C-alpha cells in the first residue's frame, strides 16, 4: 500500500497546485475509519481505496475525485456519515461519496426487473456528476485485479457483471484501455482455458515469426522519416479477449485471424494525420471496408482518430490508428478528460466533451416506460459501435453498428420513422432491413397514413426506434380494441333491451374497478372482459336470467305443445334476432329471421305464420351460420383464421373454397354459434384481422330444407 506522500507525489506530477492538505487529511481519515478491517486477501482494507485513488491519478483527475476515491467506502462500511464528510471535506466531496455508495448498493447483475430500475438509478447518478462513475469504474478495476482472493462462485458473479455492465460502460465513456483490461480480467475468470490457449498461440507465433511488432513499428517509422513527418509510433498485440471475440464473430480459428496487431501513430497536427494516412496507403495496400474517419465524424464521447487496416509485412493485416496528441489524450481518458489537470490548471482540450451534454445524448434515447425495454435499450446503447451516415443536406447522423434505414428515420424524428415506407441509400432504393455503412447518404420516403408494423421490431437495432414502434403498436391496438369493444357492448346491451350509453359504460367501469369507459371498452375488445360481466354490473337481475342455460329443443317460445321446429337454412336465424315461424305439414315449424326474403312467398298465407321469440337465457353454440370470407393467399393465413375463430369459442363445422386466385381466396365457413352477440364477436374479430379483405354473413334465399 502506498503512503500519503507517494499518493500526493502522483497527483503533484500533473497538478503542482494540488490541495495537499485535503488529500493528506482524507488519507488519514479513511485509514482511521477502516482501522481493523481486512480484505478477503488478508490485506488491510484501506489498501483498496488507496489503490483506487492511484488509478484515478493515471487519468490526471481533480482533487475532489481523488479524495472521493479515498473515502468511497466510508459511509457504507464504517461509522462515518454524509454530514461528517461534508463538514470535513465539503459538500462536493460528500455528494460524490454518497453517489458512489448508492451505486455500490445497486445489484446490477440481478436477473429480475429490479436490474432495469437499478440501471435507471445508475444513469441518474451519472447525470448528476459523472465523476461518480469514474470512481466506481476504478473501484471495479482494482477489485478485478485482486479477484483471486474471492470464492469461485463470487468470482464468476463479479466477472459476469463486469463483462455485461462495467466494461461496456467504460468503452462507451471513451476509456478504451479500461474496457480492454476489464474484459480481459473477466475473461480470465469466465473462460480461462480459452484465454490460455490464445496466449500459447501468441508465444508460438512470436517464436515462428520473430518480434513482428518491432519490425512493423520500424517499417512505419522509416516511412514517416522519408516523408518528413514527425510522429511517435507504438505497436501492441491485441488483448486475448479482443482476439477471442473476433474469432467468435468471424467464426475463424486463430491461424486464420489476421488483424491481431494494433499500431498507433501520434502526431502534432490534424493535417499531419491525413498526410500520414496517404503515405501508409501508398506504401501498403488498404483492406477494403476497414477505414473509419473519426476526425471528421467524432464519436459522441469526443473520440477522434483515423482507423485503417493494411496488409503489411509478410501480408499480415495490421490495424493503424492515427491521431494528434490532444486527440490521444481524449482517446485515453474519454469523458474523464473534462476534469484532467496539468500544471495545476484544468486542461483546455478542444476535443474533450462536456459531460452534461454527453450524458444527455446517451439518456435521451431511453424513452421506454417498460422496465425490460429500458434495460434492453441501455445495453444496446452501451455495446454499440458507431457508423456515420449523411442526410440529403449533408448533416451527419450517428447510429450504432448494424443500424438500418428505419433506425436512421427514427433518429431524425419519431414521426418520420412512423411514416416511413421506403429508403434510398446513395440514391438507390433499398429494403428497410439494409445494414447501413459509414459514409452513406440516406433519404427516407414517407407517406401519410403509414403506421409502424410489428415486423419492424426485428429490423431496427436502436433503443429509440424499438421504443417508438412498440409505443405506436400499443396505441394502434388500443384504438382497435376500443372500437371492437364498443360494438360488442352495443350488441350485449341491445340483447337485454338497453342502450350502451357513455354514462352506462362509465358506471359499469366504476363498478368493475376500471379507470373509465375507454378502459372497459378496450378490455372488452381484447377479450380480457366478457360482456356478460358488464351487463351483470348494471343489471344483475337480467344477468341472472341470462345465466340459465337453454335446452336446444326449447330454444323457441310460442310453439304449440308438442310442436317441433327447425331453423330455416336460407337465413339461419340465431338467438337474439327477431324471428317468425312458418308451419309445414309433417315438418312442424320452420323458423325464419323476420327480414328473410323467403317470407315473401308466404304473404298470402297468413294462417301459416306463427309469432315466435327466442327463449331467454344462455343458448348453446349449436346454431350454424355460414360466413363468406375473402382472405389473402399466403402461407399460414387460413390457419390463423381458423385459430382466431376457435379463440372466440366458436366451432367450424364445414369449410369449402368457392374461388381461388393468385393473390386471394374466397371461401365459405360454417360456424356453430350461441347467439347474435356471439356471431357479432366472431365477425368483428375476423374483420379486424389484416389478412381478411372482406367478410359477410352468407344467406341463400333459394336454399331449401
537's grid cell: 354490473
User: Are 322 and 296 in contact, with CB atoms under 8 Å apart?
Assistant: no
Reply yes or no on whether the pLDDT at 512 is more than 60.
yes
Reply yes or no on whether the pLDDT at 346 is more than 70.
no
What lies within 8 Å, CB to CB, of 541 at 6+ separation is: none
Instruction: Please write the tens of the pLDDT for every residue from 435-470.
Output: 888 778 899 999 888 888 878 888 888 878 888 888
For the domain made up of 4-190, the CATH class stated in words is mainly alpha
User: Are 359 and 374 in contact, with CB atoms under 8 Å apart?
Assistant: no
Query: What's the pTM?
Result: 0.53
Query: How buried is residue 202: exposed, middle or buried, by Cβ count under 10 Å (0-12/13-18/19+)?
Result: middle
Question: Residue 292: which of 372, 208, 416, 386 has the closest Cα?
Answer: 386
Reply yes or no on whether the pLDDT at 638 is more than 60.
yes
Protein fold of 194-346: Beta Polymerase; domain 2 (3.30.460)
Mean pLDDT score across all residues of the chain: 81
Least confident of 295-304, 359-368, 645-654: 359-368
d(CA 324, CA 309): 18
Instruction: Please write the tens of the pLDDT for every residue from 288-336.
Output: 777 888 888 887 667 889 999 888 666 677 889 999 988 888 777 766 6
Parallel, antiparallel, or unpaired: how do β-strands 651-660 and 664-673 relate?
antiparallel
For residue 664, the model assigns a pLDDT of 87
For residue 41, the model assigns a pLDDT of 84
What lies within 8 Å, CB to CB, of 564 at 6+ separation is: 588, 589
What lies within 8 Å, CB to CB, of 351 at 6+ separation is: 298, 302, 304, 326, 327, 329, 330, 337
Summarize the confidence of residues 478-497 as an average pLDDT.
Answer: 81
DSSP H helices, 173-211, are 176-190, 192-209
Reply yes or no on whether the pLDDT at 652 is more than 70.
yes
599's grid cell: 317470407
**Backbone torsion region of residue 640, taken as left when φ is above 0, otherwise alpha when ψ lies between -120 and 50, otherwise beta:** alpha
Location of C-alpha cell 374483420: 687
Location of C-alpha cell 482501522: 35
Q: What share of the chain is helix, strand, coil (3-state, %, to 5)?
A: 50, 15, 30
Query: How buried is residue 278: exposed, middle or buried, by Cβ count under 10 Å (0-12/13-18/19+)?
Result: exposed
Question: Residue 447: which of 422, 469, 480 has the closest Cα?
Answer: 422
For residue 114, the model assigns a pLDDT of 46
Sheet containing 442-446: which strands, arranged edge to edge?
Answer: 428-430, 420-425, 442-446
Reply yes or no on whether the pLDDT at 112 is more than 50.
no
For residue 277, the model assigns a pLDDT of 93
Structure-model confidence comparison of residues 461 and 342, the more confident one: 461
Question: Residue 328: which of 236, 242, 265 has the closest Cα?
Answer: 265
Protein fold of 551-705: Alpha-Beta Plaits (3.30.70)
Structure-model confidence comparison of residues 358 and 387, the more confident one: 387
d(CA 407, CA 310): 31
Same fold, 4-190 and 194-346: no
Instruction: Please write the tens of the pLDDT for every residue from 127-141.
Output: 567 788 889 899 999
Instruction: Give the number of other CB atoms < 10 A from CB of residue 433.
Output: 13
Instruction: Please write the tens of the pLDDT for every residue from 52-109.
Output: 999 999 888 889 999 999 999 998 888 989 899 999 999 999 988 888 887 776 555 5
Instruction: Please write the tens of the pLDDT for every residue from 581-606.
Output: 999 887 789 999 988 888 888 888 88
- As separate numbers, helices (DSSP H) first and strands (DSSP E) second, the chain gives 28, 23
d(CA 607, CA 617): 30
Summarize the confidence of residues 525-549 as an average pLDDT.
Answer: 71
d(CA 196, CA 267): 36
Question: Residue 23: which of 107, 113, 128, 93 has the closest Cα?
Answer: 93
Q: Hey, which residues does 232 pair with through a beta bridge? A: 266
Summarize the confidence of residues 529-544 as an average pLDDT.
Answer: 74
For residue 252, the model assigns a pLDDT of 55
Reply yes or no on whether the pLDDT at 472 is more than 50.
yes
Reply yes or no on whether the pLDDT at 568 is more than 70.
yes
Give the residue extent of every domain in the chain: 4-190, 194-346, 472-546, 551-705
CA–CA distance from 321 to each of 79, 307, 526 (Å)?
49, 5, 56
For residue 544, the model assigns a pLDDT of 52
Reply yes or no on whether the pLDDT at 340 is more than 60.
no
Fill in the DSSP letter of residue 617: S
Instruction: Please write the tens of the pLDDT for every residue from 32-57.
Output: 999 999 988 889 999 999 999 999 99
Structure-model confidence comparison of residues 22 and 386, the more confident one: 22
Question: Residue 94: which of 82, 105, 102, 104 has the closest Cα?
Answer: 82
User: Are 579 and 613 in contact, with CB atoms under 8 Å apart?
Assistant: yes
The catalytic residues are 76-77
Fill in the DSSP letter of residue 551: P
For residue 210, the model assigns a pLDDT of 66
Q: What are phi and psi of 221, to 5 degrees?
A: -60, -40
Summarize the confidence of residues 616-630 as an average pLDDT.
Answer: 87
Share above pLDDT 90 across residues of the chain, in percent, rounded to a whole number: 24
Summarize the confidence of residues 560-564 as an average pLDDT.
Answer: 82
Instruction: Please write the tens of the pLDDT for every residue from 197-238.
Output: 878 877 777 676 667 788 888 989 999 999 999 999 998 877
The band of 253, judged by pLDDT with boundaries at 50, 70 and 90, is low
Summarize the confidence of residues 184-193 as an average pLDDT.
Answer: 89
d(CA 349, CA 438): 27
What lies within 8 Å, CB to CB, of 268 at 6+ separation is: 230, 231, 324, 325
Summarize the confidence of residues 249-253 as an average pLDDT.
Answer: 57
For residue 139, the model assigns a pLDDT of 92
Reply yes or no on whether the pLDDT at 369 is more than 50.
no
Sequential DSSP letters for 642-695: HHHHHHTT-EEEEEEEEEE-SSEEEEEEEEEESSHHHHHHHHHHHHHSTTEEEE
User: Are 301 and 338 in contact, with CB atoms under 8 Å apart?
Assistant: no
Structure-model confidence comparison of residues 671 and 378, the more confident one: 671
CA–CA distance from 22 to each of 7, 98, 130, 131, 640 (Å)?
12, 18, 22, 18, 72
Return the axis-axis angle of helices 47-57 and 20-33, rounded to nearest 10°. Answer: 150
Amino acid at each position: 500500500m502506498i503512503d500519503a506522500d507517494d499518493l500526493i507525489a502522483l497527483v503533484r506530477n500533473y497538478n503542482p497546485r494540488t490541495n495537499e492538505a485535503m488529500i493528506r487529511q482524507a488519507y488519514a481519515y479513511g485509514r482511521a475509519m477502516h482501522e481493523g478491517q481486512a480484505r478477503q486477501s488478508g490485506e488491510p482494507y484501506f489498501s483498496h481505496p488507496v489503490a483506487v485513488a492511484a488509478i484515478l491519478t493515471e487519468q490526471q483527475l481533480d482533487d475532489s475525485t481523488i479524495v472521493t476515491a479515498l473515502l468511497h467506502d466510508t459511509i457504507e462500511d464504517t461509522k462515518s456519515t454524509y454530514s461528517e464528510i461534508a463538514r470535513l471535506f465539503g459538500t462536493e466531496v460528500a455528494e460524490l461519496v454518497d453517489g458512489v455508495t448508492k451505486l455500490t448498493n445497486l445489484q446490477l447483475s440481478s436477473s429480475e426487473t429490479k436490474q432495469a430500475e437499478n440501471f435507471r438509478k445508475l444513469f441518474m447518478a451519472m447525470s448528476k456528476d459523472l465523476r461518480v462513475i469514474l470512481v466506481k469504474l476504478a473501484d471495479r478495476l482494482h477489485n478485478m485485479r485482486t479477484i483471486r482472493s474471492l470464492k469461485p462462485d463470487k468470482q464468476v458473479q463479479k466477472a459476469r457483471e463486469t463483462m455485461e455492465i462495467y466494461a461496456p460502460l467504460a468503452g462507451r465513456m471513451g476509456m478504451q484501455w479500461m474496457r480492454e483490461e476489464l474484459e480481459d480480467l473477466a475473461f480470465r475468470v469466465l473462460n480461462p482455458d480459452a484465454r490460455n490457449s490464445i496466449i500459447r498461440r501468441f508465444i508460438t507465433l512470436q517464436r515462428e515469426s520473430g518480434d513482428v511488432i518491432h519490425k512493423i513499428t520500424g517499417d512505419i517509422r522509416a516511412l514517416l522519416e522519408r516523408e518528413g513527418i514527425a510522429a511517435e509510433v507504438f505497436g501492441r498485440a491485441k488483448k486475448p479477449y479482443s482476439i477471442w471475440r473476433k474469432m467468435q464473430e468471424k467464426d475463424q480459428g486463430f491461424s486464420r485471424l489476421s488483424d491481431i496487431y494494433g499500431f498507433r501513430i501520434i502526431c502534432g497536427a490534424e493535417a499531419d494525420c491525413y498526410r500520414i494516412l496517404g503515405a501508409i496507403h501508398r506504401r501498403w495496400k488498404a483492406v477494403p471496408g476497414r477505414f473509419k474517419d473519426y476526425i471528421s465524424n467524432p464519436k459522441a464521447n469526443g473520440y477522434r482518430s483515423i482507423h485503417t487496416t493494411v496488409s503489411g509485412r509478410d501480408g499480415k493485416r495490421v490495424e493503424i490508428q492515427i491521431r494528434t496528441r490532444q486527440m490521444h489524450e481524449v482517446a485515453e481518458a474519454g469523458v474523464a478528460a473534462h476534469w484532467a489537470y496539468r500544471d495545476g490548471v484544468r486542461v483546455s482540450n478542444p476535443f474533450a466533451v462536456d459531460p452534461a451534454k454527453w450524458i444527455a445524448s446517451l439518456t435521451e434515447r431511453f424513452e421506454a416506460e417498460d422496465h425490460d425495454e429500458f434495460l434492453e435499450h441501455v445495453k444496446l446503447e452501451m455495446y454499440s459501435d458507431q457508423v456515420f451516415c449523411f442526410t440529403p443536406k449533408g448533416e451527419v447522423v450517428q447510429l450504432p453498428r448494424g443500424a438500418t434505414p428505419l433506425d436512421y428515420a427514427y433518429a431524425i424524428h419519431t414521426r418520420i420513422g412512423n411514416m416511413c415506407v421506403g429508403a434510398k441509400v446513395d440514391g438507390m432504393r433499398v429494403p428497410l432491413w439494409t445494414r447501413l455503412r459509414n459514409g452513406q447518404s440516406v433519404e427516407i420516403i414517407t407517406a401519410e397514413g403509414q403506421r409502424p408494423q410489428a415486423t419492424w421490431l426485428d429490423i431496427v437495432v436502436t433503443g429509440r426506434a424499438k421504443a417508438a414502434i412498440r409505443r405506436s403498436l400499443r396505441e394502434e391496438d388500443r384504438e382497435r380494441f376500443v372500437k371492437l369493444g364498443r360494438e360488442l357492448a352495443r350488441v350485449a346491451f341491445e340483447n337485454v333491451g338497453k342502450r350502451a350509453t357513455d354514462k352506462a359504460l362509465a358506471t359499469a367501469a366504476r363498478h368493475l374497478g376500471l379507470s373509465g369507459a375507454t378502459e372497459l371498452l378496450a378490455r372488452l375488445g381484447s377479450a380480457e372482459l366478457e360482456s356478460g360481466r358488464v351487463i351483470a354490473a348494471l343489471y344483475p337481475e337480467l344477468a341472472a336470467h341470462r345465466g340459465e342455460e337453454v335446452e336446444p329443443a326449447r330454444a323457441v317460445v310460442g310453439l304449440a305443445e308438442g310442436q317441433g321446429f327447425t331453423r330455416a337454412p336460407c337465413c339461419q336465424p340465431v338467438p337474439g334476432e327477431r324471428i317468425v315461424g312458418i308451419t309445414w305439414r309433417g315438418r312442424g315449424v320452420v323458423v325464419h329471421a323476420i327480414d328473410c326474403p323467403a317470407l315473401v312467398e308466404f304473404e298470402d298465407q297468413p294462417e301459416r305464420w306463427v309469432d315466435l321469440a327466442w327463449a331467454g337465457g344462455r343458448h348453446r353454440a349449436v346454431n350454424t351460420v355460414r360466413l363468406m370470407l375473402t382472405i389473402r393467399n399466403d402461407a399460414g393465413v387460413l390457419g390463423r383464421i381458423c385459430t382466431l375463430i376457435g379463440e372466440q369459442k366458436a366451432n367450424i363445422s364445414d369449410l369449402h373454397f368457392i374461388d381461388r386466385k393468385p393473390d386471394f381466396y374466397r371461401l365459405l365457413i360454417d360456424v356453430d354459434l350461441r347467439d347474435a352477440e356471439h356471431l357479432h364477436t366472431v365477425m368483428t374479430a375476423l374483420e379486424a384481422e389484416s389478412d381478411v379483405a372482406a367478410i359477410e354473413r352468407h344467406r341463400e334465399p333459394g336454399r331449401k330444407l
